């Protein structure tokens, strides 16, 4: 993405990104988490409380930093993966906050599950819930007036793995189209730097997925229709660090499942 900005805060330092959104980066870097998990802090000017989006992993120092910021009005969860959710109970213990997510397993308090199109009034903001399944079945994005929090559906760098438990490439492509139709908004991802415009990033993601699907089709013609996902990864993903091939294998299997459903 040519418009990418690589600047990122040091671990534990809150950085304002928009008028209403700031990021607190967790110290859990890795192949799939990039610099670490972005915990988003949302509040309107003048509000004495804030909304937390994704408290991050079970990291006591990170949770303490969140709690020290003031009164938590609500905790919103983008999807079930532990690098976004394992810190929930520590944060609830520290703040008593209500936690809302799509699935019931992550709910804390009486807020109830999130629903597509729901508008949440909290911390002086109106936050719209946008169902964006594909990375996982329970993935949602959160829409602000000038930004969209995309979690792992759109990252600040690189592309997204389709979860092999409940992910779906068909759903993911539709979610990207939905995001592309939002208009000009800053991208606030779950990992990596913020990006200027969701329209450009979603278009790039869609083009990349189509390119990969074409490459997988070509590989099947060359290797045979019974070629497994790992063999296709070794054939197609020569431009990707081999350390990421296990993750790429999940995405290739999702591509194979998708091609089987449409061919």
**The pLDDT value given to residue 2:** 29
pTM: 0.92
Backbone phi, then psi, for 18, in 5-degree steps?
A: -130, -175
Interatomic CA distance for residues 156 and 1, integer angstroms: 9
Q: Is the pLDDT of residue 243 over 90?
A: no
Average pLDDT over residues 231-236: 92
pLDDT in tens, 135-189: 999 999 999 999 999 999 999 999 999 998 999 999 999 999 999 999 999 999 9
Please enumerate in sequence order all residues whose Cβ is within 8 A of that of 83, keeping only pairs 6 or more positions apart, or say none: 28, 32, 33, 37, 56, 57
Average pLDDT over residues 13-27: 96
User: pLDDT category, 263, cuts 50, 70, 90?
Assistant: low
Confidence of residue 34 (pLDDT cuts 50, 70, 90): very high
Is pLDDT above 90 for 23? Answer: yes
Q: How confident is the model at residue 248 (pLDDT cuts 50, 70, 90)?
A: confident
Lowest mean pLDDT among 2-6, 167-171, 205-209, 239-243: 2-6
Q: What is residue 239's predicted lDDT score, i.e. its pLDDT? A: 85
Q: Report the percent of the chain where pLDDT is more than 70.
A: 96
pLDDT single digits (tens) 97-125: 999 999 889 999 999 999 999 999 999 99
Res 181: pLDDT: 96
Report the pLDDT averaged over residues 34-57. Answer: 97
pLDDT for 67 equals 97
């Amino acid at each position: 993405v040519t418009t990418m900005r690589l600047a990122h805060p040091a671990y534990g330092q809150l950085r304002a990104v928009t008028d209403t959104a700031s990021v607190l980066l967790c110290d859990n870097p890795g192949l799939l988490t990039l610099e670490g998990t972005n915990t988003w802090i949302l509040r309107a000017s003048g509000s004495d409380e804030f909304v937390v989006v994704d408290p991050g992993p079970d990291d006591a120092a990170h949770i303490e930093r969140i709690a020290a910021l003031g009164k938590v009005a609500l905790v919103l969860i983008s999807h079930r993966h532990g690098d976004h959710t394992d810190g929930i109970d520590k944060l609830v213990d520290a703040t008593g906050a209500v936690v809302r997510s799509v699935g019931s397993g992550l709910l804390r308090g009486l807020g109830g599950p999130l629903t597509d199109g729901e508008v949440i009034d909290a911390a002086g903001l109106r936050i719209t819930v946008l169902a964006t399944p594909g990375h996982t079945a329970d993935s949602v994005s959160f829409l602000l007036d000038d930004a969209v929090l995309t979690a792992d559906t759109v990252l600040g760098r690189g592309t997204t793995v389709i979860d092999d438990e409940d992910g779906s490439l068909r759903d993911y492509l539709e979610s990207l189209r939905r995001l592309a139709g939002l208009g000009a908004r800053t991208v606030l991802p779950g990992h990596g730097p913020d990006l200027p415009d969701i329209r450009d990033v979603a278009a790039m993601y869609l083009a990349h997925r189509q390119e990969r699907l074409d490459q997988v089709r070509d590989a099947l013609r060359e290797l045979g229709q019974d070629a497994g996902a790992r063999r296709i990864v070794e054939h197609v993903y020569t431009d990707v660090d081999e350390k990421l091939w296990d993750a790429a294998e999940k995405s290739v299997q999702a591509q194979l499942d998708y091609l089987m459903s449409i061919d």
